[in-house]
Each structure stands twice: as structure tokens, then as C-alpha cells.
Amino acid sequence: MLVCNVQFMPTFDELKQLIAQNNPGADLTMLELAYDFAAKAHGGQKRLDGSDYIEHSLATALTLAQMRLDLTTIMAGLLHDIPEDTNITIEEIEKNFGPEIARLVRGITKLGKLKYRGLERYAENLRKMFVAMAEDVRVILIKLADRLHNLSTLSSLPPVKQQRIARETLEIYAPIANRLGIGELKGKLEDLAFRYVYPEEYAWVVKLAKTRLEEQLAHVNAMIKELQQLFQENGLDIVSIHGRAKHYYSLYRKLLRKDMDIAKVYDLVALRIIVKDVAACYHALGLIHARYKPLPGRIKDYIAQPKPNGYRSLHTTVFCDQGRIVEFQIRDIEMHEHAEYGIAAHWRFKENGQPTEIQLPPDQLKWIKELLDWQKDIKDNAQYLQALKIDIFQNRIFVFTPKGDVIDLPENATPIDFAYHIHSDIGDKCSGARVNEKLATLDSKLSSGDLVEIIIDKNRAGPSADWLEFVKTNVAKSHIKNYVKRKRGGLLKFFNRQLE
């Protein structure tokens, strides 16, 4: 689990020890130079909570180290505020630490120029953010680590700033962390922001969860002992088994969907089982189902069919003793690291401490590339933000093609959105759809887990303008609008020829 003790005063020795622990062969000479450079640059500067400014730089770097990122990124974390808050330029950073670190610091500096005043007045900054992410996704990882520590010291700021920073976190940064698969960091960002954006709801959820948590934790601890014995008797070696409490903001969002009834929330405390390999995941699942009765429809195999952000795990919910219901998450070590660190899990070190060649899964960054493509076409900021709200910052659903491929769509997406996500020709020729092997209207709202098949009419000329009334994704809207525009242009030319 990603644990960042940002409420404590971090030290440089802690940072070095953590890096040495994760990467025994790493050469820390340049890291020490970066720390000395940052400490001197921020010398005498204090934050509003009274702490030395270098502590913020250290906390940011510590979070990046806990995510096991490469030394270049960690050093950029130490240096990230220097151009904005001191007289030292990015050119001086490049001279001392090279172009790669300077490029990362420059990316962070650009993201800090504009202040958040709600999505409607934030379009240009978002455009810059996604360009920076496409150039090097580590820029946003540094920004997320920076934001985590800023949130932990938010109490020292005036209420107006607290609201601005917390709301920006919930509306912008936490959804981006989610899209990058960094689940634990996303949860921490949301919980720290939750108490400032919705203080009454936060207090209510904390109070509600406390009693229920105490009950469930006692039951879960008893189950852990029972499961350890079950696995041992059946020759299954496990790496760890532990209870994981749901984050408060995630619990609040789920309560909104469950009529605010916490009895309907089965994963308030989930049991997480870490094993050595994929075969052991399925072995553990079989043993659990042999011991406890699973709830119908609650078994999810994200190993065979990973989520688009790369998340892999087995989920099952079972009836336990005394009628209790408990959720299990089963994964191997590699899956667990990816679930915790997301895209950051792809930066790793060789035995000699040198960074490996980075091979990022293209599917996990596909959405960023798509964003850049259509943000070039959408010049109007209001239209751009509306598209972002749907395609990026809205809840996502995961539906399946007949071949079992997972498709990531915004909530309330339709078969037409699905068709255009597959290919523009399929969208243009779409004449019907089957959802879960039953005929469905083209304006039907899809749900997670749906199996969707598009019926194609090869003789169809193109999409209908009426589809614009219900499609959700920018990709679908763009293709339909372009077709309608071309069609109208063709008709106009036809009529003009007739008048000649």
C-alpha cells in the first residue's frame, strides 16, 4: 500500500533509505547534489504552516520514491518548485542536472501558473496539462505527489484557498490519478480534499463508518486466521492477507448510489489476498468458493479481462458465517504493484540501479493521445470543457466486445458511442445493437459488464443527425457532426447547380 507520512516531518535520510531499499544498486550522488541545491535555493523560506519550504520538496520526493519511480523523477520532485519560488532559473537547473530533469521541472512550472476557479475558467490550463502528460507522463506524477503534501497542510491556508485547492483536487487531479490507475494515491487525494469541499458530509461518513468498521474489522481478523489455515491445509503459499478499509470519499460516492444505506455496502472492509502468481490467484478463488457461498453476479475476473487503466485482480463477494457478506480481492505481486502505483509501476530499476528502458502500455495512454487529437479540433473552451467532463472527469464504465475485449466508456454511454470507439466505419454503418444478446435501442444506456454487439448495415450511407441528441462521447459527436456538415454541403451544391 502506498503510505506517505506527509503529516510527519520528512528527512533526507528517510528518502535515501527508501531509495536504497527499493533500488540497492542506485547511485545516490546526484540525489545528494539535488537535495543540497534545493535546500540552498529554498534557504530561509517558510510555508504558511511554519515549516521550512524544503520539507515540502522532500515530502514530494518521498511520495515519488514510495511509488518506486526512477531517480530522475525523484530529483525533479526535489527541484520542482525552484523556478517558481526562487530566483534560480530552469536554465541553471539544466546546467547542473541535465535536460531531462529540466524538462520535467519546466512541465511542473507551467502547470502551476494558473489558479483554479472552477472547470469553466480552467480550459487553457487543462490543455497545457494534457500536452505535458503526452510529452512525459511523469510530469503529472510529480504534480500529484506535490498536491498530496499540499493537501496535508491545507489547514494553515485561508478558507477560500482551502476550497479552491480541495475542489480542484476532486474535480481534476483525483480523476486523472484514477485514469492512470494509481488507485491508492487517488483515494488519499480524495479523502484529504473531501473534508474541505463537503465538511458536513465528511463528518457524517466518518461517524457512520467508524462503528461499522469496528464490527467488520473484528470479523475480518477472525476470517484471516481461518483463511490462513485453509490455504495452508491445501498447500497454497500466500504473500500476504489483510483487510483494506474503503476510503471515505469512495464510501460516500457509493452511499449516494445505495440510498445512503451502509448495510448495502459490502466492501467497507475488503479482504485482499496477495499470492505469487496467476495460477495461485485462481487456486485461492476456488478454495474460497469451496468454503463460502459466492453471491451471484459478484464474481469479476479482471485478470482475464483487465480494466483499461491496466488494473488486474479477481473480485468475489461471498456469504460468510452469521449471514455476513465480505468482498475478496485476489492478485499476485505484480498486479498489486500496478493497482497501487498504476502507470508509475512501469518505471523500474535493474540490478545495478540503472533505469530500465521504459515500455509504457500504449492502451493506458491512448486516452491522452485521443485528447490531444480532438482538443486541436475544439477551439471553443466551453465545448472543450463539456467534452472533458464526459470523456475524462465523469465516472467510467467497462463493457465488452463479443471477442471479450474491454472497452472504457463514460457513464450513460450508448451503443453508438461504443460503435465509434471501435471504429468510425462501424459507427457510420451502425443500424442496431445487441446488449447481453438481446436487441437494444441505439439510445440505450450501457452499464458496466454489458456485452455489446453492433449490427452493421453495409448499405447505410452514414450516421443520423438524430444521434446527436443522445450520444455522450466526443468521438461519436465529432464523426456525426462532420458527416452532417458534409452532407449539407453536398445538398447545397446540388441545389445551386439546379438553379443555374
| Residues with catalytic roles | 84-85
DSSP 308: T
170: DSSP letter: I
Q: How many helices (H) and strands (E) does the chain have?
A: 21, 11
- How far is 186 from 129, CA to CA, in rounded Å? 18
Q: Please list the residues that pair with 328 across neighbouring strands.
A: 271, 316
Q: Single out the residue of 408, 416, 415, 379 nearest to residue 392, CA to CA.
A: 408
Which residues have a Cβ under 8 Å from the Cβ of 378 and sit 6 or more positions away? 384, 387, 474
* Contact between 284 and 231 (Cβ < 8 Å): yes
**Pairing verdict, β 300-301 and 314-319:** antiparallel
* 3-class state of residue 399 by DSSP: strand
Asked if 146 and 138 count as a contact pair (C-beta separation under 8 A), the reply is no
Q: CA–CA separation, 281 vs 238, rounded Å?
A: 10
From CA 364, how far away is CA 125, in angstroms rounded? Answer: 22
**371 class by beta-carbon count within 10 Å (0-12 exposed, 13-18 middle, 19+ buried):** buried
Closest by CA to 4, choosing from 70, 81, 53, 56, is 56
For 328, list phi and psi in degrees, rounded to 5.
-115, 145
Which ranges of 298-457 would DSSP assign to H, the alpha helix?
333-341, 362-377, 381-391, 415-422, 424-428
Residue 453 cell numbers, joined: 454487439
Tell me how far apart the alpha carbons of residues 233 and 382 are, in angstroms, rounded to a whole number. Answer: 61
CA 454, 457, 460: angle at the middle one, nearest 5? 125
The gap between the terminal CA atoms of the chain, to the nearest Å, is 74
Distance CA(488)–CA(499), nearest Å, equals: 17
